[in-house]
A = this chain, B = another copy of it.
């Protein structure tokens, strides 16, 4: 069954196609009587504008791609990060009358697909999420001329505009707090070294520790609970006498506390633990986790705002949102 066209609506309402188009697009300069007639015809025919035809002339699609450079397994894991971003972006775009197209691009083939999709004019803008070091997408997409923005600072050399939280500052605040509490042997569980959230939070730790007479003690994780537990085992082996640990994500902090409990260490009495992100699970952890608040949803909102803003109103500089230490019981 062929869908009705503008033409059919015009014929039925006894007006020109131009007039129907004006009514559909809410132009103010249409006589009320005529408008009603057109509206009635649209309703009777069940007319919906063909988006390909519209896009062809307007050069807009009203769709925005959210590209997640992460395997589906992690996106749909219990890490609330993706969930919060998707929900927030989805909501904000909806308010603006835009449609969200979610694309997973964990493989080189997936990246090529995304590149062609964007180059083919399917979307008006691209939001990049969870960018890793060697991701070719920022460079490839910048060539298409389609506006691109990243949630989190990209590590790539070609760097699209981005919005992020103050990762270094947050890490600094966490470690300074541990120092102020009189902790002597402060370790850190760092995030992946190919992501800026990993790099920057480690940098903040190193900066503060090296400003005191303490030694730095680092183990690596990948932001997951599991990796936090493993890293903690490693740290206890490296230095059984450590008395504090700053984990670069709450999930890793929770994993670390699990390991500490099994090793017979009390938190915070024997070992103080500070996380990063302030996700819901942090509040429900045992003991409730002291952590650095990461305004994930606010960053997501900001990104949509910037992406949808007229080109000349976009900030030239990256937008960095402040973080804040939230003291609970684990440190």
Would A76 and B86 count as touching, CB distance under 8 A? Answer: yes
Contact between A120 and B49, CB atoms less than 8 A apart: yes
A326 within 8 A of B: no
What are the interface flags for A163-181 relative to B under an 8 Å C-beta threshold, 1 for contact and 0 otherwise? 0000000000000000000
Which residues of chain B have C-beta atoms less than 8 A from A1's C-beta?
Answer: 145
How many copies of this protein are present in the complex? 2
Measured in the bound complex, the distance between the Cα atoms of B1 and A113 in whole Å is 22
A35-71 interface with B by 8 A CB criterion: 46, 48-53, 55-56, 61, 63
Partner of A121, one of B52, B86, B110, B143: B52
Q: Is the beta-carbon distance between A121 and B50 smaller than 8 angstroms?
A: yes
Say yes or no for A94: interface residue by CB 8 A criterion.
yes
Distance in angstroms between the alpha carbons of A1 and B46 in the assembled complex: 38
Contact of A113 with B99 at beta-carbon distance under 8 Å, contacts A120-B51, A121-B51 already known? yes
Q: Is the CB of A80 within 8 A of B76?
A: yes
Contact at B90–A83, with CB atoms within 8 Å? no
Contact residues in B for A110 (Cβ distance below 8 Å): 94
- 16 cross-chain CB contacts under 8 A: A46-B143, A48-B120, A48-B121, A50-B56, A50-B120, A51-B52, A51-B120, A51-B122, A52-B53, A52-B55, A52-B121, A72-B87, A72-B90, A75-B76, A90-B104, A94-B109
